[in-house]
Structures are given as structure tokens and as C-alpha cells.
Amino acid sequence: MQKLAASQLMSLEQYARERAALRPGMIEHRRARQLRIGEHCSWSFEDRRTVHYQIQEMLRSERIFEPEAIAEELDTYNPLIPDGSNLKATLMIEYPEPEERARRLGQLRGFERHCWMRVAHFDPVYAIADEDLVRENDTKTSAVHFLRFEFPAPMIAAAKAGGALAAGTDHPEYRHSVDPLPDALRRALLADFA
């Protein structure tokens, strides 16, 4: 997918005028790209549209209008747009109670390296995680990670030919999978391989 350029972004004034009309469509688009992995983990698959929206929201909330600062936002978020041979997702580990969350994040160190996706009969592809910065330390993992799943050409061809997609995690403290992925999500993800 093509990366975003500054010329494709709305000005703060234009976005302020159009935001209310854009928001419901984006909520629905994001909902169609969500995957629950067990009770406490969700993946939000990114695409050009989700990244565009996120950049516009950042520009709005931070009142960013200078070209250098806009370029920084583009440099930060453009890597989340799939490149045609991969799928990219924001992973969230979700425990509402602070004490339980702290305990579980300690138990789930390395979680992001145990996330996988599979096409049909192929072996799983494990995530390349957090290329922007380290999100774990000696005592815990982060509640948010960025995942990239690289698929070899034969897997992409098999998926496009109708092969089922599956996803999950095999961390010793959290083993869950979704096999196969729901049809609507599968269709959305296949478009990311374009």
C-alpha cells in the first residue's frame, strides 16, 4: 500500500469541519479489522485508512500544523501501513483492574514474540514486534505492542486462493487462537496484500 504524504492530509480547519462525518465510518472500519485473541488480548489490524485517521487525530489533538512536525508524524505512523507482503497490527493486552494488569504484564514478558498467524496448512508466521522501540523490561511487558507478520509469496497466493487464515498466541501464560478468522476480517486482510 502506498504511504501517506503531507499533501494527502487535511488542514486542521478542514478536518475540524469534516471530523464528525468521518468518525462513524472510521469506527465501523476499525471494528471490521479487530480480532479478539482470548478474553484479554485484541489485535487491531492497520491499513492506510486507519493510519490516515490516526495521523489526522494526532495533528488535531496536538495542534500540529508546522511542516516539520507533520513530517515527524508521517514518519512515525507510515510504517504501520502494510507493504503488500505483510499484515500489521496494534496489539493490546487488556486487564481492567490495575493490580491484576501489573501482575499479568509481569507474567507475560515476551508475549509479543509468541503471536502468530497461519495460512491454511502452512507453518505459523510469528510477529516481528516493536520495531520502533523496546516495549518490555526485566520485570514486565507493555500493554501495547506493534506487530508485523511477513508472509512469503506462496502463503499469500494460498490465502488469495481461499486458504483459511488463523491467528493466536502460544505464550506459556496465555494460549489462545482463532481458527479460522471470521470471513469479514479475512476479506479485509486480503486487501492488505494488494
Mapping DSSP onto H, E and C, the string for the chain reads CCCCCHHHCCCHHHHHHHHHHHHHHHHHHHHHCEEECCCCEEEEECCHHHHHHHHHHHHHHHCCCCHHHHHHHHHHHHHHCCCCCEEEEEEEECCCCHHHHHHHHHHCCCHHHHEEEEECCCCCEECEECCCCCCECCCCECCEEEEEEECCHHHHHHHHCCCCEEEEEEECCEEEEECCCCHHHHHHHHHHCC
Q: Which of 22-36, 82-96, 128-142, 157-171 has the lowest mean pLDDT?
A: 128-142
Query: By mean pLDDT, which of 1-10, 94-103, 120-129 is the weakest?
Result: 1-10
> Residue 1: which pLDDT band, with cuts at 50, 70 and 90?
low
Q: Is the pTM of this model over 0.75?
A: yes
pLDDT of residue 132: 72
Report the mean per-residue pLDDT for the chain: 95
pLDDT, tens digit, 9 for 90 and up, residues 130-162: 877 778 888 899 999 999 999 999 999 999 999
The answer to whether residue 2 scores a pLDDT higher than 90 is: no
- pLDDT tens track for 48-80: 999 999 999 999 999 999 999 999 999 999 999
pLDDT of residue 137: 84
